[in-house]
Structure 1
């Protein structure tokens, strides 16, 4: 089971670049994002919520709980959340942000939490921008994806994006992935024992575009 589900990813969400797994997603995450704004209406942070599928949630707890520090389950979940966030740092938290097509790389993550929601785990953290982004003067868009496409990350059907401070008049547009048929065929042709391609996930990434009125 650990081999089939790529234990490297299960034990950190981010050892995917050295894991061996099939090209098709083995797991999925429902993504929700809340954008924080300052008193000038500029975007200052992305509060992300990753709701993991039930099977992946169970496997992650089974794999990491024995090593987790703390007496209670909540303390262990806090330790796992901090570990996951630390492992994600090198890979920029699976997140890309653009302003008018220009990549924004100056951001840091804070306040990781891992909570149980029914039979699923919800991993939450704040991605804080070093410099605010003005969505009135710029077209802002972001995406969250697993580079190897081991986990499929798509925005939730409901409440996928909201503004923490209730910015008025702002609109969002979901841009679904449209991979070239050749890429789809390449992904489908990858063998079970073939090393995962760390560039594959971007072709299947879903983007969210944000615009605010002047």
Structure 2
């Protein structure tokens, strides 16, 4: 686990979730697979139902702490609350845009829980928009990333993004995966696990996928 005194800029998620081997080098150190479904209420976009699956190394400490506790036990609820607090502290690691305007989120996530799936921990939660957004004739884009790039957060493919049945005829989702230049990739891989890139650089943003929602 990284010592926060060595890198005050390390993200809360990285500090809380990473279980790194002593010999690990290069960014990223941890991997989270994303899935999202649009949440619609009264024909307006109300939020994103998220599923974050952590890799086995990242999951190790959480699953150890959970032990053999039942899924609905206070142990799992406490772990879920701790992880969710860290996610909230980083604004859900997500940016959401309507044109040039950044859409804000509510600080009261709904339906969050933490579960075990084999050797992996999975976080489920609904990321609520502070104000529901109109859909007809609109275009939105959003991205989820750890600015430090200690954690690589990505969708496996476009099938990891879904629309509710009512929107499938008039809305579409597109997933764009960037291709950072070779020099930036080589530099990220060269970083020691105790290094932190300059905060203003937002290294993870250069590797972040962008999702676009377009509705007729």
Which TM class, normalised by the smaller chain length? 0.7 to 0.9
Using structure 1 for the length normalisation, give the TM-score. 0.79
Cα drift, residue 72 of structure 1: 5.0
Which of 47, 50, 54 does residue 48 from structure 1 map onto? 50
Aligned residues, how many? 199
Q: Distance in 2 between matches of 1:53 and 1:191?
A: 20
What residue ranges of structure 1 are gaps of 5+ in the alignment? none
Alignment of 1:197-212 (within 5 A): 197-198=198-199, 199-212=202-215
The question of whether the paired residues in 2 share the 8 Å contact of 1:14 and 1:88 is answered with: no
Q: Distance in 2 between matches of 1:33 and 1:201?
A: 19
Question: In the alignment, what sits opposite 1:117?
Answer: 117
Cα drift, residue 65 of structure 1: 4.5
Question: In the alignment, what sits opposite 1:161?
Answer: 161
Question: In the alignment, what sits opposite 1:24?
Answer: 27
The 3 A distance-change label for structure 1 pair 136 and 35 is: same
SS at match of 1:202: helix
Question: In the alignment, what sits opposite 2:147?
Answer: 147
The 3 A distance-change label for structure 1 pair 92 and 192 is: closer
The 3 A distance-change label for structure 1 pair 194 and 106 is: closer
Q: Distance in 2 between matches of 1:116 and 1:192?
A: 27
Using structure 2 for the length normalisation, give the TM-score. 0.79
CA deviation vs aligned residue, 1:66-88 (integer Å, no higher than 9, x gap): 9xxxx756321211111111122
The 3 A distance-change label for structure 1 pair 151 and 162 is: same
Question: In the alignment, what sits opposite 2:93?
Answer: 94
The question of whether the paired residues in 1 share the 8 Å contact of 2:158 and 2:174 is answered with: no
CA deviation vs aligned residue, 1:22-67 (integer Å, no higher than 9, x gap): 5411221110001111232x210111100111222123333x559x
Cα drift, residue 157 of structure 1: 3.3
Q: Distance in 2 between matches of 1:38 and 1:192?
A: 43
Say what the alpha-carbon RMSD is for the aligned residues: 3.0
The 3 A distance-change label for structure 1 pair 37 and 3 is: closer
Q: Distance in 2 between matches of 1:191 and 1:13?
A: 18
What residue ranges of structure 2 are gaps of 5+ in the alignment? none
Matched, 1:33 2:36: yes
